[in-house]
Structure 1
Amino acid sequence: MSNKIRRLTSEDYELFAAMDTGIEDDYIKLFFERFAGGTNRLYGLFADGKLASMGGYSIFVGRYAMLGRLRSDRRFQGKSLATELMTHVKNEAFSAEGIRWVGGNTEEGNLPARRVLEKIGCKPKLTQYAATAKEVEAIERGEEVWQEIHSNGRKKSWLEKTYLAKSKVFPFQCYYPFPASDALFNENTLKDWTFYENKAGDRFFVTKHDQKRTHYLHVAYPWNDAREQKGFWQTVASAKQNLEDELGEEAHVWMDIPKDEITGLPANHPFKLNSVWVLYEAEK
């Protein structure tokens, strides 16, 4: 019997639940309906009438498609089904209206997923830590906090110089970094994000609220010299406190730090560095 690939809907949940993936407490079970609709797509490869492999993509700002949610039934392993499926998914993503970039972001140690991405023509672009900390007070030095930027013109000027000029990867959401483009920095995002600038006017960073089970103050800083910048960590701590006051809940700090720039953190930093991710991108 030949393999069949089709788009999945929320009505296909039971087919997914019947897969033998070996993953306990799979988060996809909780959000299957969401991942099958809206700006998300799920596809399934059927072998011998059973769902043998599943994967899909999510669309961001109408321009980017991030591949993911790859799951394989262990009873069908060794037949390159995941590669066959994700080749189809990648082609579907590129054919979607407005999509200019397709890629995937996976943990450095997830060798099966990395092999699939490479087999379908994706190339590694950036390896970075998803560095998280419950508190940053330990690295504060009692210095003056940075000023908040309110001018959209000033915000756009900073983004142009540091991210857009060279299509530098920007951490749009936790787990979702993309090569910078004007589409990422629209009026809504500029309004929802908070920008800070130091007194000398030669450094800035962005903070955003994100939630991946835990609430995070997601910090985007385009240099690797944070430990040398007076008031940087005081400002991060202050922004974190503001977020917690707004939410009425605890929040952690998240920073995406390229693997070769980790020395930019202070020696006594509180960040967990056990989560390393590789961003891949594909050519159309």
Structure 2
Amino acid sequence: MIKDIRLLSSNDFSYFDAMETGMDSDYISSIFADLTTGDNRLYGLFLDGRMIVLCGYSIYAKHYAMLGRLRSDQRFSGNGYATELVTYVLKEAQKLSGIRWIGANTEEDNVPARRLLKRLNLAPYLPLYGATAEDTTVLESGSHSWQPITRLARKREWIDKLYIQTGAIFPYECFYPFPASDDLFSNDILNQWSFYENDDRTRFVITKYDRKKYHLLHVVYPWRDVTSQPGLWETIRHDYVKLKQHTNETAYIWIDLTKDNIQTLPDNHPFQLSAPWILHGMPVT
């Protein structure tokens, strides 16, 4: 039996397609080539020329590496091959110049994956629910929308106060939160994102575009009173309507909610709630 681990290219799709992962539909099939180029890498563990485990990483904001895309052929499960490949990919990511943090994000009820990440010394952070909705008018209060923040300095004041100083988890993309640092917030990124604050300047919200199969208005709001702030959802709906008009395709609002947020939602809330995901990670020194 010949075992081998190697970096994959777009030409290796046939090996992935031949795996029996038990998944009827896998988004990797449609973007396999993209996951082998740019800031993305895929690795395969092969037995006698057959790929039986897949795993990779993606780089965000130049300094964050996120492990993921772990897939195993069910015919070869239970032999430690997935652990072997993830360990290998982690070591490869650690070799990269400039990487300051490495992590992974997995569903809370995926106990085997969480045990594996623990063995790799990737510590857990707080669980987050990805909440999506198309119509959030039930959350509106009839108040006017918040004022846009156009000054870069003011955007940085909010980011510094709520995230940099506290080291809080920041939802950088849908499914990809990271512990906050200056690395996440370049001037270009902050200028791309829309910031708004309420009249008394005690609250702010960020809206930004993302796409994970569908067009998404990704909302970042770092307080528990997500359903009770006058004007918040009027502000969000305004940008959501603009996104739908621009794309003319299916689009959703996405907001990352903590368990505390979930407990404050009214019974008639409009969200579809995913199972909670737990971010794991460690700094690279």
- Could you say what secondary structure the match of 2:260 adopts? helix
Unmatched 5+ residue regions in structure 1?
A: none
Letter in 2 for 1:71: R
Letter in 1 for 2:43: Y
TM superposition shift of 1:3: 2.8
| Residue in structure 2 matched with residue 210 of structure 1 by the alignment | 210
Matched residues, number: 284
| Residue in structure 2 matched with residue 72 of structure 1 by the alignment | 72
Note if 1:98 corresponds to 2:98. Answer: yes
| Residue in structure 1 matched with residue 3 of structure 2 by the alignment | 3
| Residue in structure 2 matched with residue 60 of structure 1 by the alignment | 60
Deviation digits for residues 172-214 of structure 1, max 9, x if unmatched? Answer: 1111101111121111111111000000011001000111122
| Residue in structure 2 matched with residue 190 of structure 1 by the alignment | 190
- Could you say what secondary structure the match of 1:244 adopts? helix
| Residue in structure 2 matched with residue 87 of structure 1 by the alignment | 87
Letter in 2 for 1:147: Q
- Could you say what secondary structure the match of 1:222 adopts? coil
In 1, are the aligned partners of 2:140 and 2:230 still within 8 Å (CA)? no
In 2, are the aligned partners of 1:132 and 1:252 still within 8 Å (CA)? yes
Deviation digits for residues 230-283 of structure 1, max 9, x if unmatched? Answer: 111111111211222332334211110112332343443211123311111135
In 2, are the aligned partners of 1:130 and 1:255 still within 8 Å (CA)? yes
Q: How has the CA–CA distance of structure 1 residues 12 and 249 changed in structure 2, closer, same or farther, with 3 Å as cutoff?
A: closer
Mapped partners of 2:149, 2:207: distance in 1: 12
| Residue in structure 2 matched with residue 142 of structure 1 by the alignment | 142
Mapped partners of 1:213, 1:15: distance in 2: 23
- Stretch of structure 1 that moved more, 117-126 or 100-109: 117-126
- Could you say what secondary structure the match of 1:106 adopts? strand
In 1, are the aligned partners of 2:194 and 2:207 still within 8 Å (CA)? yes
- Could you say what secondary structure the match of 1:55 adopts? strand
Letter in 1 for 2:3: N
Q: TM-score scaled to structure 1, two decimals?
A: 0.95
TM superposition shift of 1:229: 1.3
| Residue in structure 1 matched with residue 274 of structure 2 by the alignment | 274
Q: TM-score scaled to structure 2, two decimals?
A: 0.95
Note if 1:232 corresponds to 2:225. Answer: no
| Residue in structure 2 matched with residue 127 of structure 1 by the alignment | 127
Letter in 1 for 2:102: V
| Residue in structure 2 matched with residue 156 of structure 1 by the alignment | 156
In 2, are the aligned partners of 1:72 and 1:82 still within 8 Å (CA)? yes
Mapped partners of 1:243, 1:226: distance in 2: 21
- Could you say what secondary structure the match of 2:233 adopts? helix
Mapped partners of 1:264, 1:194: distance in 2: 25
- Could you say what secondary structure the match of 1:24 adopts? coil
In 1, are the aligned partners of 2:164 and 2:180 still within 8 Å (CA)? yes
Unmatched 5+ residue regions in structure 2?
A: none
Mapped partners of 2:266, 2:208: distance in 1: 22
- Could you say what secondary structure the match of 1:226 adopts? coil
In 2, are the aligned partners of 1:21 and 1:71 still within 8 Å (CA)? yes
In 2, are the aligned partners of 1:139 and 1:268 still within 8 Å (CA)? no
Q: Which runs of 4+ in 1 moved over 4 A?
A: none
Mapped partners of 1:179, 1:100: distance in 2: 11
